[in-house]
């Protein structure tokens, strides 16, 4: 079955620390990949997406993600986190085959000043 695995359920960092959140998907065909962020009390927002082309994708607020097809991975990175990055992060993928978004379980990030 198609699925997304986010290995880190809860990450706690100090400000200025570097961040990497893991995301692996299970599907052998062409995928569109997404990272969504949900700040406390707010709705899900798109952080970045990959459809094709350069596998290193830059998103909003200094986030980036790299699509590594051989590893079925789409890890999210940020070199220096801020307190305002405290949120829940969801990885998701979409395929033409299913025509729906499949989400991971999410990673809660807490950043302390």
Least CB distance to another protein at residue 61 (A):
14
What are residue 72's phi and psi, to 5 degrees? 50, 40
The secondary structure of residue 69, as a DSSP letter, is: G
Say how many C-beta atoms besides its own lie within 10 A of residue 69's C-beta.
10
Site track 9-48 with another protein (rule: CB under 8 A), x = hit: x----------------------x---x-----xxxxx--
- Stretch touching another protein by CB under 8 A, among 16-24, 69-77, 79-87, 92-100: 92-100
Nearer to another protein, 29 or 43 (CB): 43
Our finding on whether 73 is near another protein (CB under 8 A) is: no
Residues in contact with another protein by the rule CB under 8 A: 4, 9, 32, 36, 42-46, 49, 51, 90, 94, 99-106
């Amino acid at each position: 079955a198609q699925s997304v695995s986010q290995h880190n359920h809860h990450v706690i960092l100090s400000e200025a620390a570097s961040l990497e959140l893991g995301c692996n998907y299970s599907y052998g065909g062409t995928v569109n990949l997404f990272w969504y962020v949900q700040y406390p009390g707010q709705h899900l927002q798109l952080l970045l997406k990959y459809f094709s082309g350069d596998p290193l994708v830059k998103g909003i607020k200094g986030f980036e993600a790299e699509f590594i097809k051989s590893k079925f991975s789409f890890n999210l990175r940020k070199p220096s986190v801020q307190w305002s990055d405290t949120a829940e992060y969801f990885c998701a993928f979409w395929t033409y085959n299913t025509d729906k978004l499949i989400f991971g379980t999410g990673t809660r990030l807490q950043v302390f000043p």
